[in-house]
Amino acid sequence: MPDSVLRGRGLTKRFGGLTAVSDVDIDVVRGEILGLIGPNGAGKSTLFRLISGVMKPSAGTIELLGKPMTGKSPNAICVAGIAFTHQIVRPLRELSVRENVSVGAAFGRSPRASHAEVHRIVDDVLRFIGLADRADAEARSLTLSGQKRLEIARALATDPAVLLLDEVLAGLNPTETDRTLELIREVRDRGVTIVMVEHNLRAVRSLCSRIVVLVEGHKIVEGAPDAVLSDQRVVDAYLGSAAHA
Amino acid sequence: MKLLSDRRALGAIALLVVALLAPLGLGGWEYGLDVLFLIFLYGAMASSWNLLGGFAGQVSFGHAAFLGIGAYTTAILSARGVPLPFAVVASALLAGVFSLLIGVPAFRLRGPYFSIATIGIGEATRLIALNWTGLTGGASGLTLAEAPTIHVQYYAALALCVVAVLFSVWTKWSRFGLALAAVRQDPDAAETLGVHTTLAKINALFASACLIGAAGSLYAVHYLFVSPDSVFGFSTSIAFVIMPIIGGIGTIAGPIVGAAVYTFIREQFAATLANADLLAFGLLLIAIVVFEPRGIAGIAKRAQRAISKRTEKAAPDAG
């Protein structure tokens, strides 16, 4: 695939007898928002964990911008340029919002050594994400939506080439959802390539330029949103139950 | 905030001036100087332990290993005529190297599992010191021939304590300290933000071990005697943990305050009721865990908040 930023080949993850991700090839094109959908237990989050280095694949390879990433530690992969947000938020609870984001800015892909520079990046990210007025609050005092935005802010501060968003919309009310969708678009416009796991199909349809569907660990279809979402195999596997409900 | 930190810095400088002049004021009262020496020595130890246990949240119950290695290194070197300054540096470095050897495997473990492993490390070094008779003299320990004057010892301990505190202050506000705080809060999240958590923990352990190795050196020349039970004992490892907890774990001043309280209590009971100090520490720990887990520093913070609240309330009346 031309201009592929992130490339996975034959990615497989086995837990004992269960194969959570099975021989998945994935290509992410520079500047796109790629949607990763599938029913619960399809292996979407596991695939994210393989890409971000939190789990080692049982088989397969991952490349970022042509460089091998397979088997590297999460911090090395973050430094190489892949950032991700946790599905269940993981704020550094007793640190301030500013300190949380500072960690990403001080380490990450473009580590900054000077206080002034870290400060500048953090101010910029906090303003962009809409948390500037909460900068000095403890991270644990934020609402869920605030903590989800903090996840994105921290990841952005690492200056990623690719950002993996794991269900950032889950648990948000409609207003917050719309605001977050807008935010994701703006992140893309800043030049960050995005892969998002999402259950909200309306959001996926409106945001993503391409969609990959996982079912029971296998990639069954990929392509443009309208084509994929009307594909009979996808309807059967994923939308079927929802359509009848 | 700026004013507050300035006021704190001024307080610390005032204390330092008092500490520098104390030997003059105490004159020939050796016991007083002795107690102050111990406070600074233990303060340096507690502050160094706090780098790893407080800032990085990696609670070690085996830090006696580093004190012991420092003390034995100095005892062995001074028997071979090596001058004290060289012995101190060698003690610090040897403890540091040892910390790297154990840190790499031990940090594969997390939280309580790491803490349990450190108990094993502490005990293992004690048993080695006990049984490697050719080098360590076994259970009968080693005696040192001569000590520098108590004044030299005093200023050496004060200097070490100042170094440990300054290093803590630097750490707290540096990129390194940010990494340690992230590790303490959530090592997995820290990793995904680009922090090399193992490296950060090993650096903290190394700094902590070097400073404590130097403290071991001063310990040896002060008591002129080292034995496996005195420096490598489990109660020594526990003292490392107790002092920062009493004073306020993860703070700058806490470990020093804790060391002062610890030394005071131990000196009170040492002459009258042997081992009653252990009972006192046990009760104190229970009280702290139940009422104020952040120790004396936490109490001070509460008091400060109460006072500023009262002045805020008073302000409108005045206006």
Helix (H, G, I), strand (E, B) or coil at A205: helix
What are the angstrom distances between the C-alpha of B246 and each of B39, B163, B254, B256, B283?
Answer: 14, 21, 7, 10, 11
- CA nearest to B193, candidates A7, A187, A166, A152: A152
Write down the pLDDT at residue A241: 54
Check A75 against B192: CB less than 8 A apart.
Answer: yes
A-chain CB neighbours of B192 within 8 Å are 52, 54, 74-75, 78, 83-84, 86
Write down the pLDDT at residue B29: 83
Write down the pLDDT at residue B181: 97
Check B189 against A75: CB less than 8 A apart.
Answer: no
Q: What is the pLDDT along chain A (245 residues), one digit of tens a residue?
A: 567 899 999 999 999 989 999 999 999 999 999 999 998 889 999 999 999 999 999 999 999 999 999 999 999 999 999 999 999 999 999 999 999 999 999 999 988 878 899 999 999 999 999 999 999 999 999 999 999 999 999 999 999 999 999 999 988 899 989 999 999 999 999 999 999 999 888 899 999 999 999 999 999 999 999 999 888 888 888 655 544 44
B-chain CB neighbours of A104 within 8 Å are 193-194
Write down the pLDDT at residue B105: 95
Chain B nearest-CA distance from A70, in A, is 15
Q: From the list A54, A93, A108, which residue is nearest B193 (CB)?
A: A108
Write down the pLDDT at residue B189: 95
Check A93 against B186: CB less than 8 A apart.
Answer: yes
Give me the DSSP letters along B84-124: HHHHHHHHHHHHHHHHHHHHHHHTTS-HHHHHHHHHHHHHH
Whether the Cβ atoms of residue B165 and residue B256 lie closer than 8 Å to each other: yes
Token pair 């101010």: residue: A123
Write down the pLDDT at residue A93: 93
Q: How many CB atoms lie within 10 A of CB A36?
A: 28
Write down the pLDDT at residue B281: 86
Q: Is B177 a residue whose pLDDT tops 70?
A: yes
Strand order in the sheet with A210-215: A82-85, A162-166, A193-197, A33-37, A210-215, A218-223
Chain B nearest-CA distance from A238, in A, is 31
Q: What does pTM read for this prediction? A: 0.92
Write down the pLDDT at residue B319: 37
Q: Which residues of B175-202 are buried (b: 16+ CB within 10 A; e: fewer)?
A: bbbbbbbbbbbbbebbbbbbbbbbebbb
Check B194 against A86: CB less than 8 A apart.
Answer: no
Q: From the list B175, B186, B194, which residue is nearest A92 (CB)?
A: B186
Write down the pLDDT at residue A180: 92
What are the angstrom distances between the C-alpha of A230 and each of A39, A243, B87?
Answer: 16, 12, 77
Q: How many CB atoms lie within 10 A of CB A120?
A: 13
Write down the pLDDT at residue B216: 97
B-chain CB neighbours of A135 within 8 Å are none
| Interval B227-274: pLDDT, tens | 999 999 998 999 999 999 999 999 999 999 999 999 999 888 877 777
**Could you give the CA distance from residue B93 to residue B99 in angstroms, rounded to a whole number?**
10
Helix (H, G, I), strand (E, B) or coil at A135: coil
Whether the Cβ atoms of residue B128 and residue B68 lie closer than 8 Å to each other: no
Write down the pLDDT at residue A2: 62
Q: From the list A54, A94, A103, which residue is nearest B193 (CB)?
A: A103
| Interval B262-312: pLDDT, tens | 999 988 887 777 777 788 888 888 988 888 888 999 999 888 888 888 887
B205 touches chain A (CB under 8 A): no
Sequence-distant (6+) residues with CB within 8 A of A90 are A151, B186, B188, B189
The mean pLDDT of B123-130, rounded to a whole number, is 96
Sequence-distant (6+) residues with CB within 8 A of B31 are none
Q: Which two tokens stand for residue B41?
A: 């020595």
Check B197 against A99: CB less than 8 A apart.
Answer: no
